[in-house]
Structures are given as structure tokens and as C-alpha cells.
Amino acid sequence: MYFFFIFFVFFFLLKGFVFFFFFFYFFHYIYFSFVFFVFFFQFSFFGFIIFFCIF
């Protein structure tokens, strides 16, 4: 019973951590894509030069 309780708490924390990690990664991916898209749209030529300088 005690082992089952520890396993349940560990599984709940692991599931919460995985959900938080995926949410954090997905939010950052959307945020950086949006910032890069706005920057690329406003300064299309300047952003194009920077894009080719980075890659």
C-alpha cells in the first residue's frame, strides 16, 4: 500500500513535469516563431540579410 502510494505520487509528478515541459517548449516555439515572423515581415530585406548571415 505504501509502495503503491509512492508510485502514484512519482507517476503524478512525472506526468506533471512532462506536461509542463511540453507546454513550455510549445509556448517558446510559438513565441519565437511569432517574433521572427513579425521581424521578417517588417524588415523583409534587412531580415533576409540577417537570415543569410546567421545560416
pLDDT of residue 54: 64
Question: Which tops the pLDDT comparison, 55 or 17?
Answer: 17
22-48 as b/e: b if 16+ CB within 10 A: eeeeeeeeeeeeeeeeeeeeeeeeebe
pLDDT of residue 40: 65
The DSSP code for 43 is T
Residue-wise pLDDT for 3-48, tens only, equals 788 888 888 888 878 888 877 777 777 777 777 777 666 666 666 6
pLDDT of residue 51: 65
pTM of the entire predicted model: 0.35
**Type of residue found at 32:** F
**Type of residue found at 1:** M
pLDDT of residue 1: 67
